[in-house]
Amino acid sequence: MSGHGFHVHGPHDHQLEHAAQHGGDTFTSRIAVLTAIISTIGAIFGYMAGHSQNAALLYKNEAAIQKTAASNQWNYYQAKSNKQNLAELSIALTSGEARDKYQQEVERYKKEKQDIKADADKLEAAAKEADHKSEIEMHVHERWAMATTLLQVAIALSAIALLTRKSWMLAGVYGSSALGVLAGVAGYLHF
């Protein structure tokens, strides 16, 4: 527009003016708001999916650490068993004070092995618990991922509904959104 009263319209100016004066296109506005809401919920579900996957990986890592520590304890147990076996063989081959010394060693190894076994059993139990927690988190992750996927489908359907201007397609948008929200609730509740 110039200062002399000459006004040039762009190709879309008339549509914008008409929408501003007559309230706009309610179909487009409703889908735009619906898509924004679905996108926001989907972003939250996507974040939760990543969080639960990270937690599952941390628990799995903890299980691996505990399994390694348990394996080390069992190796230590085996080493004590070997020493105990040698001491028992020495008892059979000696007499007198040497035999008494080896008998004391056998008893000491038996006691040490009990403590080592108890530690190894605790570590194995901790590994199993961490594995179980990892499995639970992966199950929750699958729910969050399913929820996110269903909401992405709803967004795609809303775009198709907007482009084709077919209001019947909104049933797919609402249905996919509802299923996505239900899957998200299942993830939140750890179902």
Report the pLDDT value the prediction gives residue 27, as an integer from 0 to 100.
86
Report the pLDDT value the prediction gives residue 7, as an integer from 0 to 100.
59
Per-residue pLDDT of the chain (191 residues; tens, 9 = 90+): 455 666 556 555 555 565 556 556 788 888 999 999 999 999 999 999 999 999 999 999 999 999 999 999 999 999 999 999 999 999 888 888 888 899 999 999 999 999 999 999 999 999 999 999 999 999 999 999 999 999 999 999 999 998 898 889 999 999 999 999 999 999 999 88
Instruction: Domain ranges for the chain, please list them.
Output: 29-188
175: left (phi over 0), alpha (psi -120 to 50) or beta: alpha
- CA distances to 34, 38, 130, 141 from 41, in Å: 11, 5, 30, 16
- DSSP label of 5: S
The model carries a pTM of 0.70
Nearest to 61 by CA among 142, 121, 119, 134: 134
- CA distances to 28, 69, 139, 187 from 135, in Å: 43, 21, 6, 13
In sequence order, the 6+-apart residues with CB closer than 8 A to the CB of 81 are: 109, 113
**CA end-to-end span of the chain:** 62
Report the pLDDT value the prediction gives residue 8, as an integer from 0 to 100.
59
